[in-house]
Structure 1
Amino acid sequence: MMKRLGLGVGASALALAVGTVSHFEGKRNDAYVDPVGVVTICYGHTATARIGQTHSDEECERLLAGDLGDAFDAVDTRVRVDLPPTRRAALASFVYNVGSGAFGRSTLLRKLNAGDTVAACNELDRWVYAGGNELPGLVRRRDVERWLCLYAEYAPLAAGDS
């Protein structure tokens, strides 16, 4: 799975999140309307996107860095338990996609802060709808985010089996 994203699991949380977000968001330098009617540009940037805009690759990279920084800030501010890099990356990708407000109100965050990591990571499977419709791209994205979220829980067990 990580090979498809071009990353190893030893990569930093930032590198894992950039790989995940850029893979699933894709990049369009011209503004467009996404499947639920939100004007979007570059790697899923919405805050300042307007129809008719076009950004250079460099501008898209800056927007990605800023938006992903905001997502990491939301994770770091709201999560009260230690996070391994893979889980932190998964949560940042999730927040990048759904927004910090939705994350802050989520059962996922409540379960994570209560110490129920597996149940928290499994909540990601519920976030596959947009505009009332299940989107195949969100199903695939949540599968990767869930895998990253749970990686630290199960990787030691797999390593011990060898």
Structure 2
Amino acid sequence: MSRDCSRWYGWSLTENYTDRAVIPTQGDRPTVGFGSTIHEDGTPVKMGDTTTPVRALIKAHAHITKDEAAFRASLPGVLLHQGEYDLYLDWVYQYGMGAWRTSTMRRELLAGNYKPACDGLLDYRKLTSPRQEGPGWVISKRDAQGKPTRWEFDCSTPGNRVCRGVWTRQLERNKKCMELQQ
């Protein structure tokens, strides 16, 4: 399992670059550059933060390099096609190593179940937020007094305008992953 520079820079082109911090999806954390949620010093990105294309590439490269080492270590003895490796690492960049360690994909890959691992990509279709109410949003967590503290939205809901891109990206990853199983 390895990743060469041309693949990495190709990946960076699939991410949307922003020179100013934005909230990419309703209820998400602010990101800047190529989706970075934290700065080099470990502080979280805040609205109003800015970057340049060069700084953003340096930051994304450092992040993905760190994640890549942890990703490889999380799959001892697992053999992946380069395409599988790339799409799962892209997933890790989006959702983080914490989510990867507890994911269905990792569990299935460790068990040698490659197709179910691909299907595990489709489990990640919900958006959560601490302050959302409205059509399609359902309460997912309450405090000790029963007051709602977290809502979620299923991004696979047909025609939704809340997070359609989240679901589209997962469908694309799943399709590519399944094609590699043939």
In which range does the TM-score fall when normalised by the shorter chain? 0.7 to 0.9
Amino acid at match of 1:88: Y
Whether contact under 8 Å (1:88, 1:149) holds in the other structure is no
Equivalent position to 1:119, from 116, 127, 131: 116
1:93–1:145 CA contact under 8 A, matched in 2: no
Residue 55 of structure 2 aligns with an amino acid whose one-letter code is E
What TM-score do the two structures reach when normalised by structure 2?
A: 0.70
CA distance in 2, matches of 1:20, 1:143: 17
Per-residue deviation, 1:126: 1.4
Higher RCO, 1 vs 2 (CA within 8 Å, ≥6 residues apart) = 1
Further displaced range: 131-140 or 142-151:
142-151
Counterpart in 2 of 1:138?
Answer: 166
Q: What is the total number of aligned residue pairs between the two structures?
A: 142
Distance between the aligned counterparts of 2:125 and 2:5, measured in 1? 23
Amino acid of the residue matched to residue 126 of structure 1?
D
Q: Please tell me whether the aligned partners of residues 78 and 104 of structure 1 are also in contact (alpha carbons under 8 angstroms).
A: yes
User: CA–CA distance in 2 between the matches of 1:120 and 1:54?
Assistant: 37
The alpha-carbon distance between structure 1 residues 99 and 29, as it changes in their structure 2 partners (threshold 3 A), is: same
List structure 1 segments (4+ residues) > 3 angstroms apart after TM superposition.
12-22
- Counterpart CA distance in 2 for 1:18 and 1:141 is 19
Deviation at 1:140, TM superposition (A): 1.7
CA-atom RMSD in angstroms: 2.0
Residue in structure 1 matched with residue 20 of structure 2 by the alignment: 30
Partner of 2:80: 83
Corresponding residue SS for 2:31: strand
Three-state SS of the structure 2 residue aligned to 1:44 is coil
Q: Which runs of 5+ in 1 are unaligned?
A: 1-11, 155-162
* Residue 61 of structure 1, aligned match among 23, 42, 57: 57
Q: Once structures 1 and 2 are overlaid, which stretch shifts more, 63-72 or 92-101? A: 63-72
TM-score normalized by the length of structure 1: 0.77
Cα gap change, 1:151/1:65 in structure 2, threshold over 3 Å: closer, same or farther? Answer: farther
Unaligned runs of 5+ in 2: 40-44, 129-151, 156-162
Greater fraction helix? 1
Shift of 1:18: 4.8
TM superposition shift of 1:17: 5.7
Identity across matched positions, percent:
20
